Amino acid sequence: MRLAMRELIRRPARFVSAAGPLTLLVLLMLFLGWLLDGLFLGSTGAIRAHGADGFVFSADARESLLRSSVDEGDLNAIAAVDGVESVSGIGVSLLGAEVPGEDDVANVVVAGYQLAGGVLPEPPAPGTAWADRQFNALGAGIGDVVLVGPAATPIEIVGWVDDTNYLLLNTLWVDPETWREIQNANRPDAIVAPGEFQVAAVTTVDGIDEAAVRSAIDATLGTETLTEQEAVLAIPGVPEQNATIGAVIYATAVVVALVVGLFFALITLERTGIYALLKAIGVHNRSLAVGLVTQALLVALVAFIAGGAFGLFLGSVMPAEVPLELSVGRAVFVLIAVAVAAVAGSLASLRRIVRIDPASAIGAGV
C-alpha cells in the first residue's frame, strides 16, 4: 500500500490518463444530479412549503392542483374528522407579472393560503405577499410592487420565504381573498367562488395514524387525500424527470466503472514486470490488490475534487433558465458512486495480477 502511495506521489503523470476522463464523468454525474435536484425542488416547493401531513384533492381532479376544487363546507367537514388538527385551504393562479426593473414579463404563481405552517408564516395583509427569495434574481426587493396578470393587479412584496416555487415558477404567497381577487380579475374564464380553494393541506394530531386519518377524510367527503410525497409526485413531469435523469446518472456510474477498469488494466499491463519482481521477493497478491484499489480510490477522489470544482464553475455561469441546485447531499452521493465504481473497475485487473508468474521476473518461461 505504501508503495502504491509513493508511486502516486512520484509518478502522478501516469494516472492522468485515468483521472482526466474520470473528472469529466464526475462533472457529468454532478451536473445531472444538480439538474435533477433543481428541477425537483423548483417544481415542488409550493407543496413542501406547508409541512402538511396530507393534501385533499377533489375526486375528479386526478391529483391535479389546478383542476381540484374544495369549498368552505369541505374544509369544515375535513376539520371535523377525528385526528385532524388543522386545515388550510390553498389555491394557485399561474399568471404573467411585471416586476420592477425588468423589461420582460415574468411568469409567476400567486398562491393563496389560510394558515401558517412549514416555512410559511401567517398570511400577509391583503394586497401584500411573501415572495419566494428567487424573486431576488428578477431584481425585485422588499417594498416593490409587482403587477400581476392582464389586469395588472398590484401586490407589494413584504418579506421572503425560501424553497416555495411551483413548476419552476416564482411564487407570491398571499391571503385567500387577495388570491381570489387576482384569479377572478385575471382569469374570467375560471372564476373561483367565495370560500373556494383548490386543495386543503391537513395537519394531523401528533402520534395518530396519519394514513387512517387520510382514509377517514376520503370516506367522509369522497375526496382523494395524498401524502406530501404523493402530492409532490402528482405534479406533472416530476416522476418522469426523476426516472429518466436518475437512470442516466446510474448508467454514467457504470461508464465510470468501465473507464476505471480500462485505464487500470493498461496501467497494470505496463507494470507486469514490476509485479512479477515484487511477487518473486514475497509480496502477496492481496497486498498488490490493496495497492491497486487504493490508487483507484485516490484517483477517483482527485477526479471528484477536480470535477466538483469544474461543476461549481459551470453552475456559476449557467443561465438562470437551467435550474441547478448545488447540493452537498448530491455531491456526497456522486463521491460514493464514483468510489464504488472505481473499486469495481480496478478489481478487473486483479485477475491479471494473480496470473503473473513470479518466475517471469528472472526470465523463466519467457
Partner 1 sequence: MWLALREIARSKGRFALLGGAIGLLVFLNLFQQALLNGLVTDFIGAVENQNSPVLVFSEQARKNVEGSFLSQDQADAIAAVEGVADTALIGQNTFTVLAGGDDADAVLFGYELGGLGEPTALVEGTLPQGANLAVATEADADAGFGIGDEITILADGGPVITVVGLASESRWAVTPTLFVSYETFEAAQLAVNPGSEVVLPSLVAVQPDDGTDLDALTDAIDASVPGTEALTNQEAIDGNPAVVNTSQSFNIILTLGFVVVLVVVAFFFLILTVQKARPLTLLRAVGAPRAFLVRNLVIQIVLVMAAGIAAGLVLTFLAVVTAPVGDVAISVRPSTAISTVLTLFVLALIAGIASIRRVLRIDPIDATVDAA
List of residues contacting partner 1 (CB under 8 A): 16-18, 20-21, 24-25, 27-28, 31-32, 35, 39, 60-62, 64, 66-67, 94-96, 104-107, 149-150, 168, 187-193, 236-237, 239-240, 243-244, 248, 251-252, 254-255, 258-259, 261-263, 265-266, 269-270, 318-319, 321-323, 348
Cβ closer to partner 1: 154 or 188? 188
Q: In the bound complex, what is the minimum distance in angstroms from residue 191's beta carbon to partner 1?
A: 4
- Helix, strand or coil, per DSSP, at residue 291: helix
Q: In the bound complex, what is the minimum distance in angstroms from residue 90's beta carbon to partner 1?
A: 19
Q: In 116-246, at which residue ranges do the beta strands (DSSP E only) sit?
A: 128-132, 145-148, 153-161, 170-174, 199-204, 224-226
The CA distances from residue 96 to 14, 67, 107, 160, 166, in Å, are 57, 19, 4, 20, 14
Cβ closer to partner 1: 155 or 192? 192
Cβ closer to partner 1: 280 or 314? 314
Q: In the bound complex, what is the minimum distance in angstroms from residue 134's beta carbon to partner 1?
A: 15
Cβ closer to partner 1: 32 or 339? 32
- What DSSP designation does 133 have? G
* 77: CB partners within 8 A, 6+ apart: 220, 221
Q: In the bound complex, what is the minimum distance in angstroms from residue 86's beta carbon to partner 1?
A: 28
Cβ closer to partner 1: 206 or 321? 321
Cβ closer to partner 1: 107 or 142? 107
Q: In the bound complex, what is the minimum distance in angstroms from residue 181's beta carbon to partner 1?
A: 15
What are the counts of helices (DSSP H) followed by strands (DSSP E) for the chain?
Answer: 11, 9
What is the Cα–Cα distance from 97 to 117, expressed in whole angstroms?
26
Percentages (nearest 5) of helix, strand, coil residues in the chain? 55, 20, 30
Q: Are 298 and 292 in contact (CB under 8 A)?
A: no
Q: In the bound complex, what is the minimum distance in angstroms from residue 286's beta carbon to partner 1?
A: 22
Q: Are 68 and 225 in contact (CB under 8 A)?
A: no
